[in-house]
Amino acid sequence: MKNTSIKIAALSKGDYGFWLNLWQSYLTFYDTQLPSSTTQNTWHSLLDSNVPIYGFGAWQDDKLVGITHVVLHPNTWNTTECCYLEDLYVNEQVRGQGVGRVLIEKVYEFARSKNCNRVYWTTQEGNTTARKLYDAIATQTDMVQYRKNL
């Protein structure tokens, strides 16, 4: 169910503290740690218009509750770029309220605006809660990859 109180916007410089909190929670969810230099590079890439990496945030009651990062890239199977949904994280307190779906729908809209031929992503096989959503809005490939042709 889509929550109409969710606002999606491109991440901007002033969002850093909010983003960093969710980014660290995302890394914890996947039981990983990254050097602070990688985190800083990721943040700067999200804001650099010369780098084909983009970030969007989901805001609810003026609080950042979800993030997604996408990478646009050429491919050998088509003449237009692909959109790789690399990261998606929703704050545990608001899961099940449609935030993930709205973020992915924003990615679809963004990819269409960039004339991409598809959006795709991967997830851990055991991420069953997220996979229920993914199964509803994309097609699972035999490589455990989700794809939405555009």
**What number of CA atoms fall less than 13 Å from residue 8's CA on the CB side?**
22
Please report the pLDDT score of residue 149 as a whole number: 81
Residue at token pair 């890439």:
45
Q: Round to whole Å and give the CA distance between 147 and 85.
A: 10
pLDDT reported for residue 1 = 42
pTM of the model: 0.89
pLDDT of residue 4: 52
Split the chain (150 residues) into runs of 10 and give each run's mean pLDDT: 76 97 95 95 97 98 96 96 97 93 98 97 88 93 74
Q: How many CB atoms lie within 10 A of CB 79?
A: 8
| Predicted pLDDT of residue 145 | 55
**pLDDT at 124 (0 to 100):** 85
Question: According to the model, what pLDDT value does residue 125 have?
Answer: 84
Instruction: Tell me what pLDDT residue 70 has.
Output: 98
Tokens for 23, please give them. Answer: 């980014």
What CA–CA distance (Å, rounded) separates 102 from 100?
5
